[in-house]
Every structure is written in C-alpha cells, then in structure tokens.
Amino acid sequence: MAPLPGVTVVHADITVPSTVRLMIDAMGGEQADLIVCDGAPEGTAFTLALPLLAPKGTLIFKVFLSPSDPQGSIMISQLEPFFAIPPPDQKVDVAIDGLLSVDEAMARQYKEGDSEVDGYDAYGRRGGVWVRKPRSSRPGSAEAFLVCRNFKATSLPVSFQLDSMSDSPVLSLDCFAPVNDESPRDSTSRRKWEQMKGFAIGDLSGWDS
C-alpha cells in the first residue's frame, strides 16, 4: 500500500496479543475516540477493539445480517451493556439525515464545559447501539454496520487492561481473564468477567442469571 500523508499503517496479525500493544504504540500511547473495524464483532475483533477504545468513544463494526436475525437484535443486545445511553426521561433527540441523533440541549452543555453528562459522548451525541445500512449498499446485500457510541469503560472487568494481558499466543477474551482469588473484590471482578463473556461472545459457562 502506498504511503498516505498523516496515516500510520501497521502490518500485523489481529489474532495475536502483541498487535494490541503495537496499535497503542502507533497512537502514541493514547486510546482511540473512533474505531472502524472490518472484522465481525464477536471473538477477535471485539477483543482487539475494546483495549484500544477511549472512554466515551465510538466503535463501528461491519456486519452481515442473518436471515434468523434480520434486524441485528442479538448483536445489539450483546453490545449494549458496554455503551451508555441517556436516562429514560431524556427524549430531546434530533434526527440527522435519518441516521443517528444528537441532543441539542446536551451539545450546548458540552460546549459550556460540562463533559460528564450521562449517556452522551464527548461531542454531545446520544449514546447507544444501532444497526445501520448505508444507502449505497445494495438492497439484496446482508451488509450493514453496527454503530456503538459512548463507550462505558467502567463496564469492563478490572483485569481488562493492557498491563494484565497474558502472553497467550492467540488473542481472545481469555487473555484478560482475572486470576483466581478468594477476596470479595476479585470475586466481584470474576462475576463481571463472566457476564462480559456472556454478553460479548455468548459464552455462558460459569455464569447463571
């Protein structure tokens, strides 16, 4: 690929843990406000994206909708716990080209320096998870995009940090699995971990509702 001004290209294997650190290094140690991923949200792509995403960030996956779930409801329900939405009584959304929505009142608050409004990202946009199909996409194609906005970093287990990542040869959620401990704090963290596996990849082993 020819070099592009202002663009850093990293050639790496997304299935190995070292790629996460390569991406962080390429971004100068910072996390990303926006990640657009061509990989499916379940499995490797999900595990690669979350450590790279900054709090209140936006994550967009390219997906292919299944005939058994044409609206992407299952994928939405799996990712909703990780992206904060506004309280139920805030309903002042204004549609933009029928795609996403911005709350004008919240946006004004952000401009005035209040960047901690619940349920809104750093630009005053409503948080949530949606499936959207671009107008340029053929009607007969199952292609769509899973748009996840306002990342809730506190939804992740304590162990889900780069410093805690194991040296496994394959990148998976288990690279961030908490170490067994009998303390109450780690017991809570482990349950949160099992919930995360259940939401993210449908792995309900060790977790009962």
Residues 6+ apart with CB under 8 A from 72: 63, 65, 131, 144, 146
The pLDDT of residue 59 is above 70: yes
pLDDT digits (tens, 9 = 90+) for 62-107: 888 888 888 888 888 888 888 988 877 655 554 444 444 555 665 5
Token duo for residue 37: 């991923």
Yes or no: is domain 18-84+127-201 CATH 3.40.50? yes
Do residues 125 and 111 touch, judged by C-beta distance below 8 A? no
Q: Which pTM does this prediction carry? A: 0.75
Q: What confidence score (pLDDT) does residue 94 get?
A: 47
Query: What are the beta bridge partners of residue 101?
Result: 95
pLDDT digits (tens, 9 = 90+) for 163-196: 767 677 777 777 776 655 544 445 666 666 676 6
Question: Which residue is it, tokens 């994928």?
Answer: 75
Token duo for residue 35: 């990640």
Where in the chain do CATH 3.40.50 domains reside? 18-84+127-201
